[in-house]
Structure 1
Amino acid sequence: MSPALLFPAGLAALLALTIPVVIHIARRTESRSIDFAALRWLDAAPRPRRSLMIDERLLLAARLLLLALIALWLAAPVLWNAADDRPVVAVAPGADAATIAAAVEQGNHVVWLATGFPDHGALAPAAPDDLVSLIRQLDAELPPGAPVKLVVPGTLDGVDAERPKLSRRVEWTVGAEAPARRVASPAPPTLTVRYAPDAEDAVRYFRAAATAWSAADGDPAFAAEPLDRAVSGNARHLIWLASGPVSAPVETWVRNGGVILTALEARIPVEGETVPVWRGTAGEPLAVAGRLGRGRVIRMTRALEPAAIPQLVEASFPDALLTLLDPRPAPARVAAIDHAPLTGAAPYDQPPLDLRPWLALLIALMLAGERWLATRRTRAVAP
């Protein structure tokens, strides 16, 4: 540990130490003279002999110490490298008890991998939504020399797309693998198509995509009708193949949460800026998307024909269309053994230990002592 002052100029307040000294010299403790009968025979005007005396030396010392502490507080004293460098065992909620018991050793600082890093002796918190971010935060808050052991369950949820990179090597302890849970694949969306007579040829590309989404023995969830047919309130995904402005009922349907994909010639308002959501092989945007109320608007940037968009007749088009209309979240579950942290990140600078709170407590105690010495009934007087 290395002491230091963040504001050394605060020590200039030590000049105030002269004030109580001057006061104690100039203001002697009052004394009362008592006349004795025999004193009347002495010389009435003797030469007084004076010497420099200070009364109440203990009170003076208390005042000097109080001012010195205040000056030191103003200088902002700190201690560098004062952090606790004991080995830390961080336990993720959900790890099995046998793995935790084997990893915890006497003398280690054991905490939960949860918000605030509570002690392990506290009630087990709920599993965090972002375990990897907590691991990075723990690495940043601990001193560089503190060894770290991480105890995690066999399967991690809510992880990042890449393994965490820390400033130190950690002991990665993985618990028993959790039983695999069967996750049902979401059903493909139902395609509702409204088309103008001159755009009937483009309908086949979307019918082919819906057929690819359906089971081999099932009918595709697909309904294509002319523009004059109303859109059902249960519909969620609409393909609008017509030029000119979109009808008012359809615009209202989008504002209420619908998703619409329009041809290049269609017109529908978009709130805010649009962003590319489908690109060609050369990186050119094929479709852009924006918000409209609670819904989404996807607008093609080229004509719906193979000459302009070759991807329409490729085998990847059904997947690309599904991603446009109903984007799936990125996988966030991984086996813990495959997600061990990497090393190589720059160490974090640790903040110094601020001593001013402790000095403030000491100043309060000294002030109470000084007041007691100054107001007590019997006060010491220099002889």
Structure 2
Amino acid sequence: MIPALLLPAALAALLAVAVPLAIHIARRTETRTIDFAALRWLNPNPKPVQRLQLDERLLLAVRIALIVAIAVALARPVLRPSGDERPVVALAPGIDAAQVPDDAARRVWLAPDFPSADHAAPPATADLASLIRQLDAELPAATPLTLVVPQTFEADGGRLVLSRKVTWKAVPTTVTPSAKPERAPPALAVRYAAERVEAVQYFRAAASAYAESEQTPAFDAAPVDQPLPGGAQTLIWLSGAPLSDAVLSWIERGGVVLLADDAPSPVEGSKTVVWRDAVAEPLALEGRYGQGRVLQLTRPLAPKSLPALVEPDFPDRLWTLLDPPPAPARVAAQDYTPTLGEAGPALAFNPHPIDLRPWLAVLIAALFAGERWLATRRNRAVMA
């Protein structure tokens, strides 16, 4: 076990040790004056002898120990495992451990708690990148690390940045990645005002593009006073009138609505740009309302103001706007080689540090009780 402090700056509280020390130096134990007859012939104002004297040294020591214990507790002391200093070879689940030579290294699976590769492989996980970062943070800085990963795997975003230079090996895996389900196109529900009926044709054409041949498009268009069809998930609101209470409740439960540029938006917080034209001018903004999404166009629904309405890729753009595709997660291992960055805190991901504060709390309570007993006991020494 290696002792460590998670918050060493808190040791500045040790300066408080000077407080009881100064009190004991400046304030002598209370004295008791005893008068007797012979004192009348003595000088009432004798010159005192100046010398440093500490009274009740045991009480002083207990008070100092109490302050030291509190300061150490504030610094969050822990005991962390010393760890195995052998080189580490980490294998992703699904890789045959027999094809990776031992070479006297410690082999572990890239799985929660990093079990030994001498045991059966755990189930494959989608958190491979996070586990690599955690393992890098837990190992001592000088421990060599070899990562054996599939040729393609799930990534969680940015490229890996580790605190050490690692050996990166991509090998075939025995696990076949599951095929991702195909995305279903959105079923469009349009609610329009009488003066906006011409704009319905652009969304009817998009719904027809989503449908297979000889398939009825999933499209429902009606005036704004008509209720939404059952199971509706997307709504196109072609009106400058406010949304009805029923529509607002539907959005709060997770619905997605695309508002005309002049429609009042229920979103009160910030909005982000989710669609831009060829010169990066915003075409649509997005905000949250309850569990749903509120999209709003920034231009009138007319080809002169919004040329994208008559472009061939408008159905795809509308689909992406209403139902954004998930970001690509699978990456090629050869394109995901970790880069070297600054090392993070040594204990940021310590798997099982032993917190010493509960024991210090017991010690502090005992010291406080001892200090109170020494300070208030009846037979406390009093200088005569």
| Same-fold status (TM-score > 0.5) | yes
Distance 2:340 2:172 in 1: 28
Question: What secondary structure sits across from 2:271 in the alignment?
Answer: strand
In the alignment, structure 1 residue 238 sits paired with structure 2 residue 235: yes
Choose 1 or 2 for highest CA Rg: 1
**Which deviations, in whole Å up to 9, do the C-alpha atoms of 1:37-69 show, x marking residues without a partner?**
xxxxxxxxxxxxxxxxxxxxxxxxxxxxxxxxx
Instruction: Using the TM superposition, give the Cα deviation of residue 165 of structure 1 relative to its aligned residue in structure 2, in angstroms.
Output: 3.1
* 1:169 aligns with one of 165, 169, 192: 165
* 2:131 aligns with one of 129, 134, 137: 134
* 2:327 aligns with one of 327, 330, 348: 330
Corresponding residue for residue 202 of structure 2: 205
Contact conserved, 2:189 with 2:232, CA < 8 A, in 1?
yes
Structure 1 gap segments, 5+ residues each: 13-69, 361-383
**Which deviations, in whole Å up to 9, do the C-alpha atoms of 1:296-318 show, x marking residues without a partner?**
22121221112222222222322
User: Which piece of structure 1 moves more, 302-311 or 175-184?
Assistant: 175-184
Distance 1:348 1:268 in 2: 44
TM-score (norm 2): 0.64
Question: What secondary structure sits across from 2:89 in the alignment?
Answer: strand
**Which deviations, in whole Å up to 9, do the C-alpha atoms of 1:256-292 show, x marking residues without a partner?**
3221111112224225332222222333322122222
Change (3 A) 1:248 1:349: closer
Amino acid at match of 2:325: R
Instruction: Using the TM superposition, give the Cα deviation of residue 150 of structure 1 relative to its aligned residue in structure 2, in angstroms.
Output: 1.5
Corresponding residue for residue 160 of structure 1: 156
Instruction: Using the TM superposition, give the Cα deviation of residue 149 of structure 1 relative to its aligned residue in structure 2, in angstroms.
Output: 1.5
**Which deviations, in whole Å up to 9, do the C-alpha atoms of 1:55-88 show, x marking residues without a partner?**
xxxxxxxxxxxxxxx9xxx9x999xxx7654210
Corresponding residue for residue 189 of structure 1: 186
Contact conserved, 2:193 with 2:223, CA < 8 A, in 1?
yes
Contact conserved, 1:263 with 1:300, CA < 8 A, in 2?
yes
Stretches (4+) displaced over 6 A: 3-7
Instruction: Using the TM superposition, give the Cα deviation of residue 350 of structure 1 relative to its aligned residue in structure 2, in angstroms.
Output: 4.4
Contact conserved, 1:165 with 1:341, CA < 8 A, in 2?
no
Contact conserved, 1:151 with 1:173, CA < 8 A, in 2?
yes
Amino acid at match of 1:95: G
Question: What secondary structure sits across from 1:173 in the alignment?
Answer: strand
Change (3 A) 1:348 1:191: closer
Distance 1:236 1:346 in 2: 46
Change (3 A) 1:348 1:248: closer
Corresponding residue for residue 373 of structure 2: none
Distance 2:177 2:123 in 1: 20
Distance 2:120 2:179 in 1: 30
Amino acid at match of 1:252: S
Question: What secondary structure sits across from 1:287 in the alignment?
Answer: strand
Instruction: Using the TM superposition, give the Cα deviation of residue 344 of structure 1 relative to its aligned residue in structure 2, in angstroms.
Output: 3.0
**Which deviations, in whole Å up to 9, do the C-alpha atoms of 1:212-256 show, x marking residues without a partner?**
222244332222222232211221111110112122322232223
Amino acid at match of 2:327: A
Q: Aligned runs of 1:332-347 on 2, under 5 Å?
A: 332-335=329-332, 337-347=333-343
Contact conserved, 1:251 with 1:268, CA < 8 A, in 2?
no
Instruction: Using the TM superposition, give the Cα deviation of residue 322 of structure 1 relative to its aligned residue in structure 2, in angstroms.
Output: 0.9
Question: What secondary structure sits across from 1:266 in the alignment?
Answer: coil
Question: What secondary structure sits across from 1:211 in the alignment?
Answer: helix
Distance 2:329 2:113 in 1: 23
Corresponding residue for residue 120 of structure 1: 117
Structure 2 gap segments, 5+ residues each: 18-67, 360-384
Percent identity (aligned): 46
**Which deviations, in whole Å up to 9, do the C-alpha atoms of 1:352-375 show, x marking residues without a partner?**
x99x99xx9xxxxxxxxxxxxxxx
Q: Aligned runs of 1:264-279 on 2, under 5 Å?
A: 264-279=261-276
Q: Aligned runs of 1:1-383 on 2, under 5 Å?
A: 84-92=84-92, 94-96=93-95, 99-121=96-118, 124-157=121-154, 159-177=155-173, 178-179=175-176, 181-335=178-332, 337-348=333-344, 350=346
TM-score (norm 1): 0.64
Instruction: Using the TM superposition, give the Cα deviation of residue 162 of structure 1 relative to its aligned residue in structure 2, in angstroms.
Output: 4.0
Distance 2:194 2:140 in 1: 71
Distance 1:291 1:209 in 2: 25
Question: What secondary structure sits across from 1:277 in the alignment?
Answer: strand
Distance 1:130 1:85 in 2: 25
